[in-house]
Structures are given as C-alpha cells and as structure tokens.
Amino acid sequence: MSGLSSTIAPPSFSFRSQLFHQNVYTTSNSIIRCCDDTARLNIKPHEDNGSASFPEKNLLLNPAAFKKPPRPRRIILVRHGQSEGNVDEAVYTRVADPKVGLTEQGVAEAEECGRKIRKMIEEDGAEDWKVYFYVSPYRRGLETLRNLAKAFERSRIAGVREEPRLREQDFGNFQNEEQMKIEKAVRARYGRFFYRFPNGESAADVYDRITGFRETLRTDIDIGRFQPPGKQSPNMNLVLVSHGLTLRVFLMRWYKWTVEQFEGLHNFGNGKMVVMERGYGGRYSLLMHHSQEELKKFGLTDEMLIDQEWQTIAKPGELNYDCLITGPSYFTHFDDDSRK
C-alpha cells in the first residue's frame, strides 16, 4: 500500500475522452491548457526532450553521433559477510531468508573487504576514481554494503542501486530443516544447476534473471550511467554485493561457461571478492587481477583459463573463434581427416 489515507478513483473513460478532445478546460480556480496550445502560446519545447537526464535517449535518437563513455575499470563481485544462516541453518525455520542478517564476524568481514577494495583501487594511482554499487535487497546484502562502504568517503561513491535480480537463490519460504537436508541430498544426485527446490528456484532459474540483469548492466556501461556527462572517467569501479550462487551464475552468464563448468566451481568465501578487470583491449578478464592458481582453486579448468587469457587482450564485440569452451570441445568424436 502507498500509505495514503484515501484513494481517488480515476475518471471514467468517457470523461477522460472529453478532456482529451478539449483544448482548454477549467477548474474552479484556474485554466489548464493541453499540450497542443504551446504553439499558440509561443512556448518553445525542450529540444533534447530530456536526453540530458536520460543518456539512453541520445543512443536511441542519434546512435551514429553517440560517443560511448569509457568502460569502468573493474566489476568487483562481493559475497555478503557471514550471516546468521551460515552459522546455524535452523535460523531459516524462524526467519524469512530476505531478513537474515550478518553476524559480528560478518560485519568485520564486510569492513575488511571494503578496505581491500580501496587499497586495490588506490594502487592504480588515479586521482578521479569512484565506486558504484549494485546490491541485493536481502538484509545480509544491505548490511554488507553499509559496512563495506565505511572504507569510502561520500565523494567517492557515485551511486547505489538496489537490484532484486541479485537476490539469493530462492530455497522456498520458511524451511523445514530436516526436509532441506533431504532436498540438498537429492540436488547432489540430480545436478546442482537444474534441481529446483519445492516452492523455490533452481540455478537455471537464477540464470534467467541474471541474464536480464546482465543486459541492464551492459546498457549502463554503454551509456555511462554512473557519472554525469562531461565527468566520466575510466577509473570507475562497479561493485556487485550479492550471494555465492548468484555471483557464480553471473560469471557463468558473462563468460558463457557451460553447465558442467558451472558445477565445477566453488563458492566464494563470506566477505570475499572476485575481480573482473578491464584488459588491454577493453574486455574484462579475471586474469588481470587473479593468478591462475587462484582461479584453479575457484574451479576454472585449463580451457576456461585459456579463454581468460584471450579476454585480457580482446576488444569488446570481438569473438574468440578458437574458444575451447564453445567450439571444438563439443566435437571431439569427429575424425579430423573426415572434415578435409
């Protein structure tokens, strides 16, 4: 509910039609003129039609003349700090998942993560850097954000967007602890990606909503939504504060990893981060920040690491025609001679 004490019913269709066809109609105190009177009154409309406030309009109205802003320096994925549910799964039988908060240790983990992010950014040596946050609306996500952000002055924070599509995988409503143990055992046999919890989601369902978020994020990057026109800098850093599985699915979707490769990944630690950093050609690669050993521990295979090496030098829009993830690995049963 909006909180209003009363509701005003909208005018009937016939009444609205009458108003639409009248150029001028009166109230008890004033005269209200419709928009087509602006020509007679010599009122000059805004020529940009609000495009200064909504940069995506520039892209739509005049794509050829639209100059893309610099891409952010990094996309930093942060898993929330330790939550009450991480310590005691019985919490979920009493508290709705979106309302589960951080422990004292989780608060400390979030604060430490913020300090690490700041240190990493400052090592670039740039003076005009800023951070922009996307955050899950779950309590533990918001509490992680608020404690992580203690490392930054307000002037360094370009903005925050609460993003429901970054929420945790839905495991159902109030959960039966014993039944959840059974469901997780079934999931292990069925497959972690496709198994859907009763009244909840599968990782495949999360993939679908993350696909929508990824398109929003790419549009935000393309139009430079993070900073005003004329003040855009390549030293922007995007921080996604979310949940373990959701962030693994995000990486899967971004880099086009297979279901088998996803199921080989390990969860982030609480309050830990994975960094996608802009490479030499403009694309984002995990190898710009992480070592191969770190990424192998996370679960990346040799084929995935080879693709990450390509990401470090490739340009946006280029395709990796030799990618072992999306090409030859599907056709290893072919005899090479038969294709000559």
Looking at 80, 243, 277, 290, which residue is catalytic? 80
Question: Does 42 carry a binding-site annotation?
Answer: no
Q: Is 83 annotated as a binding residue?
A: yes
CA pseudo-torsion sign 22, 27, 31, 36? negative
Q: How far is CA 241 from the centre of its chain?
A: 9
Is there a catalytic annotation at residue 168? yes
Q: Answer yes or no: are the C-beta atoms of 216 and 240 closer than 8 Å.
A: no
> What is the Cβ-side half-sphere exposure of residue 289, based on CA atoms within 13 angstroms?
20
* Strand residue runs (E) in 56-182: 74-79, 130-135, 157-162
Q: Which tokens in the block code for residue 162? A: 């609460």
311 among annotated binding-site residues = no
Whether 287 contacts 312, CB under 8 Å:
yes
Q: Is 183 annotated as a binding residue?
A: no
CA 20 to chain centre: 41
Q: Is 111 annotated as catalytic? A: no
State yes or no: 139 annotated in a binding site.
Answer: no
CA–CA distance from 181 to each of 90, 108, 113, 196 (Å)?
11, 29, 31, 14
Is there a binding annotation on residue 136?
no
- Which candidate in 168, 183, 201, 277 is catalytic? 168
User: Is 82 assigned a ligand-binding role in the annotation?
Assistant: yes
Is 191 annotated in some ligand binding site?
A: no
Q: Is 84 labelled as part of a ligand binding site?
A: yes
Binding-site members for substrate are 79-86, 140
Active site residues: 80, 168
Binding-site members are 79-86, 140
